[in-house]
Structure 1
Amino acid sequence: MKIGKDVYIAETAVIIGDVEIGDNASIFDNAVIRADMDRITIGENTNIQDNVTIHTDTGYPTRIGRNVSIGHNAVVHGCTIDDFVLIGMGSILMNGSHIRTGSIVGAGAVVTQGFESEEYSLILGLPAKVVKINKGQMEYIMANAEDYLKLKELHMRGRLERYRHG
């Protein structure tokens, strides 16, 4: 396991196995990152939001690039996510799928095994399909990533009140 500098990992997050997390990343509450079958890499400035599950299968490592936002309750399994990508809440990405730079996977989308997007794709549906290609969405992706960098700092510095049991 290798954890970069200035990484926030919530107390309730679970990280197991061959995991590498880049500088300035954030792993929020109840996220599970389980690299017990293959390797998981998470790039710098990437945020893994509450209840996200990241896993692998043998022969299907998970690679997540820089400045990626993975929304609450998403499942990311044995796939590749390039830099500057937003994965919507509740999305599922299956083995061998590849989401390219500047893309958005909409909330609740199911990205099937072996799916490959083009850069700057908007990917929606069940099963997921590319709806359009739009370089203009980069501004939204970057704003989301920057918001989570600010949240990471608040959490790391203990600036948010947190209820403690017991």
Structure 2
Amino acid sequence: MGELPVSTDPRFPGATIIAFEGKVPQIDDSAFVAPGARIIGDVTIGPQASVWYNCVLRGDIHRIVVGARSNVQDGSVFHVEGPRPDTEGEPTIIGEDCVIGHMAVVHGAQLANRAFVGMGAVAMDGSQIAEGGMLGAGALLSPGKEIGPGEIWIGRPAKYYRTQDEAQIAKIRFQTERYCKLAERHLAELRGG
């Protein structure tokens, strides 16, 4: 039985970067991929984006995109919905400046710029989070559901709670900036100073 060709990328010490069926992950030089992270197949990670410890991004049956400056925090899992007779499948697309909290699951969902997925939340196939929208910690966004611009949804299944004000949306921007700087510090440590 054959094994997947596991490779490491010297830019990201300790991370596992794996090609699948000829599709090699495309990771910007300025991105941070932490040790223990697994990046597989058709995955694109943009400038200054960060994928933290023990995350899995598996783009084997569709594509995954993580936009510039977005952060995917520790233990999160991204996968996709592959083609079926009734659909072309669902990629996982993360816009720019998004925050994905620890242990989140994003499966065939799409997030616009500055969207937020809380810790332990799940965004399922075909769901969408508009710009500045938030899926609260522990929430479950059912297949095909859409969170509108600036809306907060909470619960299992997630339902509309309220709309954020500008101060709350600014906190998402702060988190994005903080994670960009924190990624630089982690990378400096890993590279010896």
TM interval, shorter chain, is: over 0.9
Query: For this pair of structures, how many residues does the alignment match?
Result: 161
Q: Contact conserved, 1:154 with 1:160, CA < 8 A, in 2?
A: no
1:58-100 Cα shifts (integer Å, max 9, x gaps): 1110000000110000000001011001110000000000000
Q: Contact conserved, 1:102 with 1:135, CA < 8 A, in 2?
A: no
1:134 aligned to which of 130, 155, 164: 164
Q: Which runs of 5+ in 2 are unaligned?
A: 1-24, 83-88
2:116 aligned to which of 86, 94, 111: 86
1:96 aligned to which of 126, 130, 154: 126
- Which residue identity does 1:69 align to in structure 2? V
Match of 1:27 in 2: 51
Match of 2:31 in 1: 7
Match of 1:47 in 2: 71
CA distance in 2, matches of 1:159, 1:98: 35
Q: TM-score, normalised by structure 2?
A: 0.80
CA distance in 2, matches of 1:160, 1:130: 44
Q: Which runs of 5+ in 1 are unaligned?
A: 162-166
Match of 1:144 in 2: 175
Give the RMSD, CA atoms, in angstroms. Answer: 1.5
Residue aligned with 1:149, SS: helix
Q: TM-score, normalised by structure 1?
A: 0.93
* Greater RCO, 1 or 2 (C-alpha within 8 Å, sep 6+): 1
Runs of 4 or more above 3 Å deviation = none
CA distance in 2, matches of 1:8, 1:25: 6
Residue aligned with 1:95, SS: coil
CA-CA distance at 1:55 after TM superposition: 0.2
CA-CA distance at 1:159 after TM superposition: 7.3
CA distance in 2, matches of 1:79, 1:159: 32
CA-CA distance at 1:142 after TM superposition: 0.5
1:116-161 Cα shifts (integer Å, max 9, x gaps): 1110001111100111122422111101111111110111111799
Q: Which has the larger radius of gyration?
A: 2
Are 1:18 and 2:18 an aligned pair?
no
- Which residue identity does 1:31 align to in structure 2? C
- Which residue identity does 1:110 align to in structure 2? L
1:32-53 Cα shifts (integer Å, max 9, x gaps): 0000110001100010100000
Q: Contact conserved, 2:134 with 2:147, CA < 8 A, in 1?
A: no
Percent identity of equivalent pairs: 39
Match of 1:153 in 2: 184
CA distance in 2, matches of 1:91, 1:160: 32
CA distance in 1, matches of 2:50, 2:122: 20
